[in-house]
A and B are shown apart, each in its own frame.
Chain A
Amino acid sequence: MKRSLLSGNEAVALGAYHAGVRVAAAYPGTPSTEILEELSRHPDVYCEWAPNEKVALEVGIGACLGGARTLVAMKHVGLNVAADPWMTLPYVGVNAGLVLVVADDPGMHSSQNEQDTRYFARMAKAPLLEPSDSQEAYQLTLEAFAISERYDTPVLLRLETRISHSRTVVEHDGTRMRVDLPYEKDAVKRVMIPGYARLRHSVLIKRLEELAREADSFPHNRVEMRSDKVGIVTSGVCYQYAREAFPEASILKLAFVYPLPEKTVRDFASHFHRLYVVEELEPFLEEGLKAMGLDAVGKTRIPREGELNPDIVGRSLADLIEMDTGVKGGGWTPPPSRQALPPESALPSRPPVMCPGCPHRGLFYLLSRLKLLVSSDIGCYTLSVLPPLSGIDCQVCMGAGVGMALGLEKAFATSEVNAGMRGKVVGSLGDSTFIHGGITGLIDMVYNRTPSTIIILDNRTTAMTGFQDHPGTGKTLMGEETRALDLEALCRAVGVESVRVVDPWDLEATEKVIREEVEAPRTSVIISRRPCVLLERRPAKPYVVEEEKCNGCRRCLRLGCPALVVRGEKAWVDPLLCVGCSLCAQLCRQDALREAGEDG
């Protein structure tokens, strides 16, 4: 038996490998990204970055119908993109097993919303498993494939940030299974015309009843009887928090979360006058328990937003459990006094910032200075919303900057109060997100004669999630060279008349192009191209401030560069951080910034 310290993501990848997965597809997204990166290191598994999550799932559907066990991975908001195939896949069923791994992000460490993926299982009538540590992430991945094939259904494996990115001990001695099922044509089952889909919906509803029975016999649901007065129902990482906060409480830890194992829950409930439900985000388990007519305390006490931890769980339930048990605090030990400590609000915050030399900095400095209305999407550049750049007006999801720009432009076109905004709208998005979800918006823009400018921030990688390749980079997840998507040719092909490429390290030339294209009454695309500074590490040529020339005007600080600091009244460049992008020198009117050169 091997004993390894694995993250939840690594454990899923190992489980998938041992389960015999031959095809895997994903679009990168924190906290799910490392699953495919890890799986791609194993031999004999085809792994790909798909252009978006919808395509990833469609690739997965094809592969499982083709007889290969298949893993598809994404973050929670990715499933919104993949929701179309996801909602009909359970009708079609699988051939070899298909497991969709979705990682939620309670607390929004790196996300735009806090949606709860468990509802996607209920909505699609597909089973959902949820591990509480890496050991279970490994085992439940194996179980998920077995269930998928036994019940002819896709299985949703739900992770959360603290499962994906916590390392816990995994014991495993697995050898790789070999699954290779024959493909047989079955149009009634796999072509969802209404007449066939009606038949399949009945099958789906019947299957859900069978899955509920399976849930009741599932070996990874665990009853831990301790106190005869306090019963907690929980799942996922919340099990760990509940166990730590109330060590004497009895716990029903669910791993099969949907459909709910009703008999298991009722048996557990019969020991207690009421149940406590410890779960992150929405009252999913709580609603299930209440629908069964059980008395359950959950979201009236435990927050529906943000990430939980042992302190929050303890504080939320201590008084009630004290009443149940007569034990002070219900067995929860409150944290020591914070009195001698400065309140968090008194400390300067440390928001993430764009790196020194980041190609996005110069571009958003210009957009902000030109007072353009910028509709943007998700990537490192979203950080430019913060002062001093303050370069973004609105951002919702990947690719949305294009469609929103179109909508804004059309609203302003017939507005009196916003007439001054006409012709000032710019949409911005990344190279990876343009391919993910921006292309169709651009087609709409050309088709519907919209005089806006779209800026593609082409840094040659998917930077925010840790430098994954995409169709524009010329390299695959498996390290093969491939044909790189030509962004200029693509934009021209959809009918954009003016496609221009700028270097965002050259402020003057970039500004000129932006001004021209914004003024021109046509759809145009500017490709702001320079590789991410972390991707192509070049020898740095740091700049220095000539103190006698610096007059302390702080103009250079408008760039929000981490390498630029005020010391006394003058600017100072941190030589360890500066990479020599020269933007500050381009801004300085006193000519006080220059390349350090050999003398430093």
Chain B
Amino acid sequence: MADVILVGVGGQGNVLSARILAETALLAGYDVKTSEVHGMAQRGGSVICTVRWGEKVYSPLIPEGRADYLLAFELLEGLRYLVYLRPGGTAIVNDYRLDPLPVQRGDAAYPQDALDVIRSRAGKTLVLEALEVAKAAGDRRAVGTVILGALSRFLEFSVPAWEETIRRLVPSRAVEVNLRAFAMGRERG
């Protein structure tokens, strides 16, 4: 069993990544629950998804400080939702900064110490250049699959199971790129 929280910015694809993770856990026979954000998510706002699996799962929302893994698609969002990560848990962080409007306009400062603060709570922090890896795999939109590849090192699910869910959920023209992105992410996990 595990609790995973995926955070990022609308348009980065963490809703799809959460689904891939959840369906992979379902294949392994677990009870699975997710929560997703819709509506405003497409408008560049902050987005949080949860995935939980185990013998029996109750709340789709993860209580504060209980997530075993934090997958941060963006640094500030990683910092914003760090409170959900269990102290000593694992953070997989995309080393990527996307300035929100108040920062763009110079009304607020982007926190410079995001990674340090994340490291201070997490037992293990894996920092990835997921955007660069995704580009190398063939599509910058495959950031989420790179991050899942890295996460897969920590989980019991088999590579063929991951690949099966990626094939099923990713649009058919993007399957090969995403399989490559997953493998490249896994190498870095």
From A34, A350, A466, contact of B46 by CB (8 A):
A350
Distance between A355 CB and nearest chain B CB, rounded to angstroms = 7
The verdict on A562 contacting chain B, using a C-beta distance below 8 Å, is yes
The stretch among B58-66, B150-158, B176-184 that forms the contact with chain A is: B58-66
Contacting residues, chain A, for B65 (C-beta < 8 A): 335-336
For residue B22, CB closer than 8 A to chain A, the reply is yes
Please tell me the number of chain A residues within 8 Å of chain B, measured between CB atoms. Answer: 57
Q: Which of B47-102 contact A (CB under 8 A)?
A: 57-61, 63-66, 76-77, 79-80, 82-83, 86-87, 99-102
**Is A493 an interface residue, CB under 8 A from the partner?**
no
Instruction: State the CA gap A241–B60 with chains docked (Å).
Output: 9
- Cβ of B33 within 8 Å of any chain A Cβ, yes or no, is yes
Contact B23 A5 (CB under 8 A): yes
B-facing residues in A263-318 (Cβ within 8 Å): 309-311, 314
B175 adjacent to chain A (CB < 8 Å):
no
Using Cβ atoms and an 8 Å threshold, which residues of chain A touch B103? 348
Is A383 engaged at the interface, CB distance under 8 Å to the other chain? yes
Would B83 and A341 count as touching, CB distance under 8 A?
A: yes
Question: Which of B31, B76, B80, B110: most chain A CB closer than 10 A?
Answer: B80
Given A341-B83, A348-B102, A566-B105, decide whether A165 and B35 contact each other with a Cβ distance below 8 A.
Answer: yes
| A109 close to B (CB within 8 Å) | yes
A311 touches B76 (CB 8 A): no
CA–CA, A388 and B102, complex, Å: 10
B 32-49 contacts with A by CB, 8 A: 32-40, 42-46
Contact check: which of B19, B43, B60 meets A168 at CB < 8 Å?
A: B60
B residues near A348, Cβ cutoff 8 Å:
76, 100, 102-103, 108-111
Residues of A close to B36: CB separation below 8 A: 7, 165-167
> When the two chains form their complex, are residues A336 and B120 in contact, meaning their CB atoms are under 8 A apart?
no
Which residue of chain A has the shortest Cβ distance to B36 in the bound complex?
Answer: A165
- Residues of B with C-beta under 8 A to A351: 45, 100-101
Complex: A240 Cα to B52 Cα, angstroms: 13
Q: Are B33 and A350 in contact, CB atoms less than 8 angstroms apart?
A: no
Q: A352–B35 contact, CB under 8 A?
A: no
Contact with B along A342-357 (1 / 0, CB 8 A): 1010111111111100
**Interface SS, A side:** loop
Distance in angstroms between the alpha carbons of A270 and B22 in the assembled complex: 41
| Chain B residues whose C-beta falls within 8 Å of the C-beta of A314 in the assembled complex | 63
Smallest CB–CB gap between B117 and chain A, Å?
Answer: 7
| Interface membership of B144, Cβ < 8 A | no
Once bound together, how far apart are the Cα atoms of A380 and B45, in whole Å?
A: 13
**B149 CB → nearest A CB, Å:** 21
B167 is an interface residue with CB less than 8 A from chain A: no
| Complex contacts, A483 vs chain B, CB 8 Å | none
- The reply to whether the CB of A83 lies closer than 8 angstroms to some CB of chain B is no
Contacting B at CB under 8 A, from A61-120, are 109-110
Interchain CA distance A110-B60 in the complex, whole Å: 19
Q: How many residues of chain B get a CB closer than 8 Å to chain A's CBs?
A: 54
Is A162 among interface residues, defined by CB-CB distance under 8 A? Answer: yes
| Cα A161 to Cα B32 with chains together (Å) | 18
B32 touches A169 (CB 8 A): yes
Q: Pick from B32, B57, B58, B109 the residue with the most CB of A within 10 Å.
A: B58
Asked whether, in the complex, the Cβ of A352 is within 8 Å of the Cβ of B82, the reply is no
Interchain CB contact under 8 A, A566 and B79: no
Is there contact, CB below 8 Å, between A557 and B104?
yes
Contact at B63–A309, with CB atoms within 8 Å?
Answer: yes
Total number of residue pairs linking A and B with CB closer than 8 Å: 156
Q: Are A311 and B63 in contact, CB atoms less than 8 angstroms apart? A: yes
A560 to chain B, nearest CB (A): 6
Q: With a 10 A CB-CB cut-off, give which of A33, A314, A349 has the most chain B CB atoms.
A: A349
CB <8 Å contact, A167 and B101: no
Give chain B nearest CB distance to A387 CB in angstroms. Answer: 8
A187 at the interface (CB under 8 A from B): no
Q: What's the minimum C-beta distance from A159 to chain B, rounded to whole angstroms?
A: 13
B121 interfacial by beta-carbon distance below 8 Å: yes
**Per-position contact with B for A464-505: 1 when CB-CB < 8 Å, else 0?**
111000000000000000000000000000000000000000
Is residue B166 contacting chain A, with contact meaning CB distance below 8 A?
no
Give every chain A residue within 8 A of B102 (Cβ-Cβ).
348-349
Cβ < 8 Å to B, chain A residues 228-278: 237, 240-241, 243-244
How far is B110's CA from A78's CA once the two chains are assembled, in angstroms?
A: 39
State in angstroms the CA–CA spacing of A335 and B89 once bound together.
14
Q: Which residues of chain A are near B66, meaning CB under 8 Å? A: 335
Q: Is A153 an interface residue (CB 8 A)?
A: no
* Contact in complex: B32, A341 (CB < 8 Å): no
Docked CA distance A407–B46 (Å):
37
Q: Which residues of A contact B83 (CB under 8 A)?
A: 335, 338, 341
Taking a contact as CB atoms under 8 Å apart, the answer to whether A350 and B79 are in contact is: no
Distance of A120 Cα from B18 Cα, bound (Å): 35
Contact B80 A167 (CB under 8 A): no
The answer to whether A340 and B117 touch (CB under 8 A), given A244-B59, A348-B108, is yes
B59:A240 contact, CB within 8 angstroms = yes
A593 interface residue, CB < 8 Å from B?
Answer: no
Closest residue of chain B to A237 (Cβ to Cβ) is B60
Q: How far is the CA of A349 from the CA of B57 in the complex (A)?
A: 31
- Do A350 and B32 touch (CB < 8 A)? no
Task: Give chain B residues whose Cβ lies under 8 Å from the Cβ of A336.
Answer: 64-65, 86-87
Of A348, A466, A564, the most chain B CB neighbours within 10 A belong to: A348
Partner of B43, one of A167, A342, A353, A557: A353
A534 within 8 A of B: yes
B87 — which chain A residues lie within 8 A by C-beta? 336
Is B10 among interface residues, defined by CB-CB distance under 8 A? yes
The CA-CA distance from A466 to B120 in the complex, in Å, is 39
The chain A residue sitting closest to B26, CB to CB, is A5
With contacts A310-B59, A350-B46 known, is A340 near B32, CB below 8 A?
Answer: no
Counting chain A CB atoms within 10 Å of each CB, which of B64, B79, B86 scores highest? B64
* A562 neighbours in B (Cβ, 8 Å): 44, 101, 104
Shortest beta-carbon distance from B15 to chain A in Å: 10
Tell which of A3, A166, A168, A341 touches B117, judged by Cβ atoms closer than 8 Å: A341
Q: With an 8 A cutoff between CB atoms, is B4 at the interface?
A: no
Task: Report whether B58 and A244 are in contact in the complex, using a CB–CB cutoff of 8 Å.
Answer: yes
B9 within 8 A of A: yes
Tell which of A7, A110, A355, A534 touches B39, judged by Cβ atoms closer than 8 Å: A110
How far apart sit A47 and B160, CA to CA, in the bound complex (Å)? 38
In whole angstroms, how far apart are the Cα atoms of A109 and B40 in the complex? 8
A310 to chain B, nearest CB (A): 5
Structural contact, B100 and A162, CB atoms closer than 8 A: no
Interface pair B32/A109, CB less than 8 Å apart: no
Tell me, in angstroms, the Cα distance from A199 to B79 when the chains sit together. Answer: 63
Known: A309-B59, A348-B102, A576-B140. 12 other contacts (CB 8 A): A5-B32, A110-B39, A165-B35, A166-B36, A240-B58, A243-B58, A310-B61, A352-B45, A353-B43, A353-B45, A353-B101, A466-B42
A-B contact list, 28 entries, CB within 8 Å: A5-B23, A5-B34, A7-B36, A109-B38, A110-B40, A133-B33, A166-B33, A167-B32, A237-B59, A310-B61, A340-B117, A341-B121, A342-B79, A346-B111, A347-B79, A347-B80, A348-B100, A348-B103, A348-B111, A350-B77, A351-B101, A352-B10, A353-B43, A353-B44, A355-B43, A388-B105, A464-B39, A564-B104
